[in-house]
Protein backbone atom coordinates (compact mmCIF):
# COMPACT_ATOMS: atom_id res chain seq x y z
CA UNK A 1 0.00 0.00 0.00
CA UNK A 2 2.83 2.41 0.80
CA UNK A 3 4.27 1.97 -2.69
CA UNK A 4 0.92 2.86 -4.24
CA UNK A 5 0.63 5.93 -2.01
CA UNK A 6 4.16 7.05 -2.89
CA UNK A 7 3.57 6.44 -6.58
CA UNK A 8 0.32 8.41 -6.42
CA UNK A 9 2.09 11.25 -4.63
CA UNK A 10 4.87 11.35 -7.25
CA UNK A 11 2.33 11.22 -10.06
CA UNK A 12 0.38 14.11 -8.54
CA UNK A 13 3.56 16.18 -8.20
CA UNK A 14 4.51 15.42 -11.83
CA UNK A 15 1.03 16.41 -13.02
CA UNK A 16 1.22 19.66 -11.06
CA UNK A 17 4.67 20.47 -12.51
CA UNK A 18 3.44 19.72 -16.03
CA UNK A 19 0.30 21.79 -15.48
CA UNK A 20 2.37 24.77 -14.31
CA UNK A 21 4.74 24.52 -17.30
CA UNK A 22 1.91 24.22 -19.82
CA UNK A 23 -0.09 27.03 -18.24
CA UNK A 24 2.95 29.32 -18.24
CA UNK A 25 3.14 28.89 -22.03
CA UNK A 26 -0.60 29.56 -22.38
CA UNK A 27 -0.39 32.62 -20.11
CA UNK A 28 2.47 34.05 -22.17
CA UNK A 29 0.50 33.67 -25.41
CA UNK A 30 -2.65 35.15 -23.90
CA UNK A 31 -0.72 38.06 -22.38
CA UNK A 32 0.31 39.08 -25.91
CA UNK A 33 -3.42 39.46 -26.64
CA UNK A 34 -4.28 41.25 -23.40
CA UNK A 35 -6.27 38.51 -21.66
CA UNK A 36 -5.69 36.12 -18.79
CA UNK A 37 -6.32 32.37 -18.83
CA UNK A 38 -9.59 32.68 -16.84
CA UNK A 39 -10.80 35.45 -19.17
CA UNK A 40 -9.95 33.32 -22.19
CA UNK A 41 -11.82 30.41 -20.63
CA UNK A 42 -14.93 32.60 -20.13
CA UNK A 43 -14.80 33.74 -23.76
CA UNK A 44 -14.44 30.17 -25.03
CA UNK A 45 -17.37 29.01 -22.92
CA UNK A 46 -19.55 31.88 -24.09
CA UNK A 47 -18.67 31.25 -27.73
CA UNK A 48 -19.78 27.65 -27.26
CA UNK A 49 -22.96 28.72 -25.50
CA UNK A 50 -24.18 30.53 -28.60
CA UNK A 51 -26.43 33.58 -28.79
CA UNK A 52 -28.35 32.77 -25.59
CA UNK A 53 -25.20 33.05 -23.50
CA UNK A 54 -25.13 31.78 -19.94
CA UNK A 55 -26.08 32.99 -16.51
CA UNK A 56 -23.26 33.78 -14.12
CA UNK A 57 -23.96 30.54 -12.30
CA UNK A 58 -23.90 28.57 -15.55
CA UNK A 59 -20.66 30.23 -16.51
CA UNK A 60 -19.06 29.48 -13.13
CA UNK A 61 -20.11 25.82 -13.44
CA UNK A 62 -18.54 25.49 -16.89
CA UNK A 63 -15.15 26.92 -15.91
CA UNK A 64 -12.17 24.57 -16.10
CA UNK A 65 -10.51 26.21 -13.11
CA UNK A 66 -12.72 27.58 -10.39
CA UNK A 67 -12.31 31.30 -9.86
CA UNK A 68 -13.48 32.94 -6.65
CA UNK A 69 -15.35 35.81 -8.27
CA UNK A 70 -16.85 35.24 -11.71
CA UNK A 71 -18.72 38.55 -11.38
CA UNK A 72 -15.49 40.56 -11.30
CA UNK A 73 -14.06 38.51 -14.13
CA UNK A 74 -17.11 39.29 -16.27
CA UNK A 75 -16.93 42.93 -15.14
CA UNK A 76 -13.44 43.23 -16.64
CA UNK A 77 -14.47 41.56 -19.90
CA UNK A 78 -17.55 43.78 -20.14
CA UNK A 79 -15.50 46.92 -19.46
CA UNK A 80 -13.32 46.24 -22.53
CA UNK A 81 -16.30 45.30 -24.71
CA UNK A 82 -15.72 41.55 -25.05
CA UNK A 83 -18.95 40.47 -23.34
CA UNK A 84 -22.26 42.05 -22.35
CA UNK A 85 -24.80 41.36 -19.66
CA UNK A 86 -28.54 41.38 -20.17
CA UNK A 87 -31.14 41.06 -17.46
CA UNK A 88 -33.86 38.49 -18.18
CA UNK A 89 -37.24 40.11 -18.85
CA UNK A 90 -39.21 37.28 -17.23
CA UNK A 91 -37.08 37.16 -14.07
CA UNK A 92 -35.09 40.30 -13.30
CA UNK A 93 -32.89 38.35 -10.87
CA UNK A 94 -31.40 36.39 -13.79
CA UNK A 95 -28.61 37.99 -15.81
CA UNK A 96 -27.33 36.44 -19.03
CA UNK A 97 -23.75 36.97 -20.17
CA UNK A 98 -23.20 36.95 -23.93
CA UNK A 99 -20.06 37.25 -26.01
CA UNK A 100 -19.71 40.39 -28.12
CA UNK A 101 -18.34 40.51 -31.69
CA UNK A 102 -15.05 41.85 -30.29
CA UNK A 103 -14.80 38.77 -28.07
CA UNK A 104 -15.47 36.49 -31.03
CA UNK A 105 -12.84 38.34 -33.06
CA UNK A 106 -10.29 37.95 -30.27
CA UNK A 107 -10.97 34.21 -30.07
CA UNK A 108 -10.67 33.94 -33.86
CA UNK A 109 -7.22 35.57 -33.65
CA UNK A 110 -6.23 33.19 -30.86
CA UNK A 111 -7.55 29.93 -32.37
CA UNK A 112 -4.58 29.17 -34.65
CA UNK A 113 -1.79 30.25 -32.26
CA UNK A 114 -3.42 28.37 -29.38
CA UNK A 115 -3.78 25.22 -31.47
CA UNK A 116 -0.14 25.52 -32.54
CA UNK A 117 0.91 25.95 -28.92
CA UNK A 118 -1.05 22.86 -27.90
CA UNK A 119 0.42 20.87 -30.77
CA UNK A 120 3.94 21.88 -29.80
CA UNK A 121 3.57 21.61 -26.02
CA UNK A 122 4.33 17.88 -25.76
CA UNK A 123 6.36 17.62 -28.98
CA UNK A 124 8.76 15.11 -27.41
CA UNK A 125 6.01 12.49 -27.19
CA UNK A 126 4.87 10.50 -30.22
CA UNK A 127 1.16 10.66 -31.09
CA UNK A 128 0.61 7.09 -29.92
CA UNK A 129 1.98 7.91 -26.46
CA UNK A 130 -0.21 11.02 -26.29
CA UNK A 131 -3.25 8.88 -27.12
CA UNK A 132 -2.31 6.43 -24.38
CA UNK A 133 -1.73 9.23 -21.87
CA UNK A 134 -5.05 10.83 -22.80
CA UNK A 135 -6.86 7.52 -22.26
CA UNK A 136 -5.21 7.02 -18.88
CA UNK A 137 -6.02 10.55 -17.76
CA UNK A 138 -9.64 10.14 -18.88
CA UNK A 139 -9.84 6.94 -16.83
CA UNK A 140 -8.32 8.70 -13.82
CA UNK A 141 -10.84 11.54 -14.14
CA UNK A 142 -13.71 9.07 -14.42
CA UNK A 143 -12.65 7.32 -11.21
CA UNK A 144 -12.55 10.69 -9.40
CA UNK A 145 -16.16 11.43 -10.39
CA UNK A 146 -17.44 8.13 -8.97
Nearest by Cα to 77 from 25, 109, 41: 41
For residue range 94-122, list pLDDT tens digits in order. 889 999 999 999 999 999 999 999 999 99
**CATH of span 2-145:** 1.10.10.10
- Altogether, the residues listed in the chain come to a count of 146
How far apart are the C-alpha atoms of 55 and 124, rounded to whole Å?
41
For residue range 25-72, list pLDDT tens digits in order. 999 999 999 999 999 999 999 999 999 899 888 998 899 888 778 889
Nearest by Cα to 82 from 115, 116, 112, 110: 110
The 8-class DSSP code of residue 86 comes to E
Amino acid sequence: MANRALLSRDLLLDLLRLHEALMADVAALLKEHGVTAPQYNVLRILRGAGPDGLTGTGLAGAMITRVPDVTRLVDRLEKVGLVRRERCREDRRVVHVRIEPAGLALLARLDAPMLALHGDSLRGMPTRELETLDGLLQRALATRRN
